[in-house]
Amino acid sequence: MSINPVYHQTELKIEEELGWIQRAKQDPECFAPLYRKYHEQIFRYVYQRMDDEEAAFDVTSQVFMKALNSLNKYEYRGVPFSSWLYRIAKSELYQSFRDKKAERTVNIDTVHVFHVIDEIEQDENEENKQRLIECLSKLKEEDMQLIEMRFFEKRSYKEIGEILEISENNAKVKSFRALEKLKKIFIN
């Protein structure tokens, strides 16, 4: 199941959002609907990458504070407001890692591990499961985040592209290459 079933929205919903944003630029209190709508999504994105629950809630709060403070700089580009929030979240996350306030973690389920094993065309058994987990920890951050978003969080390439500010096709290519690298590490 996708971590993010509400990401893709109708044009009507996006327009509704735009109305909230315009009002929130005049009055911060009007930011509340956006905060309520995206709080869980952003928290789950952050918590997926952290070990400490309280730290994840703190970072989530930082994301929305920053978003509200920078709301006048926000430009509507025909994509959900959440894609901008995810970019802020990514920045806040990596800042907290750099400041050593949090540890970069990947949280996965066994079922996701077996999906990846299937993708790299290996047998689904306990030995390979442990081996893959070890291989995942050897991946570079840029490859890990692609594997994480595509195979653990089940995000679409379009969504991945918007979060990473690359095209959908490029997201597909990069995800494919990350998987190839993982496969190489696994085989070797």
Interface residues with other proteins (CB under 8 A)? 28-29, 31-32, 35-36, 39-40, 43-44, 47, 51, 53, 57, 61, 64-65, 68-69, 97, 103-110, 113, 133, 136-139, 141, 144, 169, 172-173, 176, 180
Least Å from the CB of residue 165 to other proteins = 19
Q: What's the token pair of residue 1?
A: 């199941």
Nearer to other proteins by C-beta: 31 or 186?
Answer: 31
Least Å from the CB of residue 71 to other proteins = 9
Least Å from the CB of residue 136 to other proteins = 6
Least Å from the CB of residue 125 to other proteins = 16
Nearer to other proteins by C-beta: 12 or 127?
Answer: 127
Nearest C-alpha neighbor of 152 from the set 22, 4, 32, 25: 4
What span, in angstroms and rounded, lies between the C-alpha atoms of 140 and 121?
Answer: 21
Long-range contacts of 100-104 (CB under 8 A, 24+ apart): 101/55, 102/50, 102/51, 102/52, 102/55, 102/59, 103/50, 103/51, 103/52, 104/49, 104/50, 104/141
